[in-house]
Amino acid sequence: MSKDKVLSHLGLATKAGKVVSGEFMTAKAVKEGSACLVILPLDASDNTKKKFRNMCDYYQVPLHFYSDKISLGNAIGKEFRASVGVIDQGFANGLIDKMVMESGRN
């Protein structure tokens, strides 16, 4: 049920127009400084994980791994997505809190 809360919150952010998706758009948002959070699915390729780890470290953007490509895509109304960027600090903070609670690290 907690997973549903994270994905529901992501869907709400999408409806508000505060989400970018896909590797190109997410990377662009990180490099422009508009991304407040990047979410990658656990089943993303090793190359994608390395690329975004390095990029998010360099630009100091929080990076979280969550769920799978299909679930992330469905949450934002797409078929599947290998990366999602949140471009609003409020939504980003809410998602981080929910993912931390999901992982059991209060």
Could you read off the pLDDT of 22-58 as tens digits, one per residue? Answer: 999 999 999 999 999 999 999 999 999 999 999 999 9
Binned at pLDDT 50, 70 and 90, residue 105 comes out as low
* CATH 3.30.1330.30 at 2-103, yes or no: yes
Q: Which helix (H) or strand (E) holds 87?
A: none
Q: Name, in order, each residue with C-beta under 8 angstroms of 84's C-beta and a sequence gap of 6 or more.
A: 10, 19, 20, 21, 26, 38, 39, 40, 72, 76
What is the distance between the alpha carbons of residues 61 and 94, in angstroms, rounded to a whole number?
15
Q: Cα–chain-centroid distance for residue 50?
A: 15
Ramachandran quadrant class, 35 (left: phi over 0; alpha: psi -120 to 50; beta: rest): beta
